[in-house]
Amino acid sequence: MDLRADFIALSETSAVQRTQLVTSSAFRKVGFKAHWGAAVQPHTRRETDTVSMRGLAAGVALAARLPSRAARPPMSQEALATCRLSDAFVRLGALEVRVITIYGVPQSETDSRDRTNALLQQAFHRAVQCAVPCIVAGDFNVRPFELPAGQAFQSQGYQDVFDLHQGSTGTVLPDDGNGQ
């Protein structure tokens, strides 16, 4: 696995607890440490008692090749229960950076914008807890600055990677195939 990345934010992992353990081991073999959000509930099949390695469409993680650690104190139980938020610190040389990973609610779901805004609000609360640089990454399923909590980030100087890329290269990043 040659990704040429120092850390990777993963959204919609669908990772149940066993999958998190197996994947963490695989990541360790290639020099990455995984920081998972809460495990998602597994899919079940009526015709078998076997628990699936794939769960519901949620789940987040951060995989880091650089020195990293779990955030302390941990996120609230309310935030963890969403299976859509994780929080860790990554050391970039002498600088430590908080990385919050989000998986926003798909727009096909009821109240997706409100629910994604609530996730961003919880992330904002974490981001401003300490004066450490913070990266908020993931699949938001909406442009984050379109939401009130995203505007709170923007008012603190946060920038959208799509805007940064276009400003520095003059080209638009391709969307994910869903118009996002």
Which residue in 58, 147, 137, 149 sits closest to 102, CA to CA? Answer: 137
Collapsing DSSP to helix, strand or coil, 150 comes out as helix
> How confident is the model over 29-52, as pLDDT tens digits?
999 999 999 999 987 766 666 778
Q: What is the pLDDT of residue 174?
A: 82
- Structure token pair of residue 86: 């994780």
In order of their start, the domains of the chain are 7-169 (3.60.10.10)
Q: DSSP secondary structure string, 28-90?
A: HHTT-EEEE-PPPPBP--TT--PPPSBBSS--EEEEESS-EEE-SSPPPHHHHHTTSEEEEEE
Which residue in 66, 134, 146 sits closest to 100, CA to CA? Answer: 134
Q: How many CA atoms lie within 13 A of 154 on its CB side?
A: 13
Which residue in 167, 79, 88, 73 sits closest to 134, CA to CA? Answer: 88
Q: What is the pLDDT of residue 18?
A: 93
**CA 62, chain centre distance (Å):** 7
For residues 131-135, average pLDDT: 94
Q: What is the pLDDT of residue 55?
A: 83
User: Model-level pTM?
Assistant: 0.91
